[in-house]
Structure 1
Amino acid sequence: MSVFSSTIMDFWMTPFTHGEVLLQTGSLTVIANATLPEERRLMVLELSDGRVMAVMTPAMADKLGFYQLDALTTTALRQTLQDAGVVLHGADEIFYFSAQDKETLMQEATEGDIRPLNIEDEAVFAEFQASATEQDLDDAYVELDHWEVCGAFIGDSLVCAASMYPWDSYPGDDARIADLGVLTLPPFRGKGYARRVVRAICRRASERGYEPQYRCQFDNLASASLAKAAGLTWFGKWEVISPDSAA
C-alpha cells in the first residue's frame, strides 16, 4: 500500500499506465500512450519503490523500435534513448507528504513571524526580490501574484518567502496538486526559516483541498535536503524529453 494519497498516485499513474504495454520486465514498464501532448511525448519516472516507468507516444515508440523489443533493462532503455538522439530535460526530484506526515502537519499552528502575503505586501516583497540574485529568483520562482504566498519576517523585513500554484501537468488533468517554490535570502539560510515557511504554506494548500508538491533539480542537494527537513518524502524522479531533443 502506498504511503501517498490516492490523489497523488492517480495523478502520476494516469499518464504512465494508460495505453498499450510494450514491455514489462523486472521493475521496468514501457507504455505507448496516444494521449500524450507533443511536449510530453516521452517521459521516464523512477519511483521510490524501485519501479521505473517509461511512457511515449506510439509514433515515438515506433521510431525507437520499442514495438520490436521483448526484453529491456533500465540501463539499456537509457542507452537506446541516447543512441537515438533523445535528450531528456534535467530530472526533477518530486516530494510529497505521506498520509501520516500530513496529519502531523495539519495539527500545527503557524508561528507568529510567518504569515500569508498579498498585494498589500508589494513594497516589502519588492525589497525582498531586490536583495536576491537573479539566479536565485529564477530557480525559486516565487511570485507575489501566485495562488498562495507565505513569508517569514524579522521585524518588518521579509527574509524568506514561498509561493504555490495549482499544477496541471497533463491534458484534461483535474488533480488538485499545488507546486511550490521557496527562497531564503542568503544571510538567513540555515536558520530554519525555509523549513517553517514550507510547512506553513503546505498546510494552507492542504486546507484548500490540494496536495502540496515540492520539486527540485536532481543535483540541487540543498533544496532536496530542505524538502526532507520540512517533512516531505521523496516520491520519485521525473524526466521529460527536452525541447532540444533531436528525436
Structure 2
Amino acid sequence: MYPSTITDFWLSPSPTSRLHYGDDTFRVFTDATLDEDERLSIRTTADGTTRVLLTPAVAGTIGLQDGQPIDEADFRQRLARSGITLNGADNVFYFTDEARETLLGEPDAASIRVLTEADGRAFEQFEEAASEQDRDDAYVELDHWLVYGAFEGERLVCVASMYPWDGAPLADLGVLTLPPYRGRGHAPRLVRAISRAALARGHEPQYRCQLDNHASVAAAESAGLTRFGTWDLIAEDSPV
C-alpha cells in the first residue's frame, strides 16, 4: 500500500477536471486549466490502470467527443494520426507504507549531510567532475528545495536534491554519483537520507527515471523504493 497523498495525485480527478470517458482500466479527463507543458499527460500504474489528462484543445485535435467509448490503443492511434508526440515515459518510484516505516527508523550515515550555499565551491568541483549528460539526467542543483551530499574525506562524491512537484505534497528527486565512486552505496544511502528529510517536511519522495535507464532503476530499488507506474507528457513541439 502507498500513502493516500500518492494515490490521490495519480488516480483522483482534480476539482477542475471532467471525465470524458472511463472504464475500469482506462480513463480520460479534460481540464481547461492545465499548464501548457502538461496539456496532455498519461499516468499508468503498475497494475495497468491508465489515467489520461488533457486540455479540451488537445481533445478536439484528436477528435474526441464527450462520452465516446475509447480504449488506450484507439487513443494512441488518434495521437499518432494527429501528429502528437510524447516525451517518452518515465518510471516513477515511491516508498510503500511499510518501507516508509523502516526508512524513518534509520539514522543518516556519518558521511552524509545537508548542503548549503557554504558548500558552493565543493559543489562546483563536483559538477566539473561530472559529464554534461549525467548532470542533465540527474538535475541536481544546489539551490533546490532540499539538497544533501555524501563525502569521501573532504571530497563531495554524490549529491541528491529535491523540489516540490506539480503543486502536490510530493518532492521530485534527482541523484548523481561521480563515476569513480559508484558501486559503493553512496546513492542509496543518500536517497534514503534526503527522503527522511522530505517526509519530515510533509512531502512524499518521488524518484523518476527513463524506462531504459537500468542503472537508475537499480539505484531506486536499492534505496528501497517501489515502482508505482509510468508517467508521460506531450512533447513541446507537438502541433497543439
TM-score > 0.5, shorter chain as reference:
yes
Contact 2:11 2:51 in 1 (8 A): no
Which of 174, 177, 181 is the aligned partner of 2:170?
177
CA spacing shift, 1:68–1:118, aligned 2, 3 Å = closer
Amino acid aligned to 2:90: D
- How is 1:7-22 mapped onto 2 (pairs within 5 angstroms)? 7-14=5-12, 19-22=17-20
Q: Distance in 2 between matches of 1:17 and 1:50?
A: 24
Unmatched tracts of structure 1, length 5 or more: none
Residue 80 of structure 1: how far off its partner (Å)? 1.4
Q: Distance in 2 between matches of 1:16 and 1:190?
A: 42
Amino acid aligned to 2:81: D
Partner of 1:216: 209
Contact 1:16 1:53 in 2 (8 A): no
Contact 2:21 2:66 in 1 (8 A): no
Partner of 1:28: 26
- How is 1:1-247 mapped onto 2 (pairs within 5 angstroms)? 3-14=1-12, 19-67=17-65, 70-167=68-165, 169=166, 173=167, 175-247=168-240
Q: Distance in 2 between matches of 1:87 and 1:242?
A: 6
Residue 56 of structure 1: how far off its partner (Å)? 1.4
Q: Distance in 1 between matches of 2:34 and 2:145?
A: 27
Amino acid aligned to 1:140: A
Q: Distance in 2 between matches of 1:97 and 1:117?
A: 23
**Deviating more after overlay: 154-163 vs 51-60:** 51-60
SS in 2 for 1:125: helix
Amino acid aligned to 1:126: E
SS in 1 for 2:32: coil
**Deviating more after overlay: 222-231 vs 36-45:** 36-45
TM-score by length of 1: 0.90
Unmatched tracts of structure 2, length 5 or more: none
Contact 1:15 1:33 in 2 (8 A): no
Residue 18 of structure 1: how far off its partner (Å)? 5.4
Residue 242 of structure 1: how far off its partner (Å)? 1.0
Cα deviation code 1:150-190 (max 9, x no counterpart) = 111111111111111122x2xxx3x3211111000001112
Amino acid aligned to 1:232: L
Q: How many residues align?
A: 240
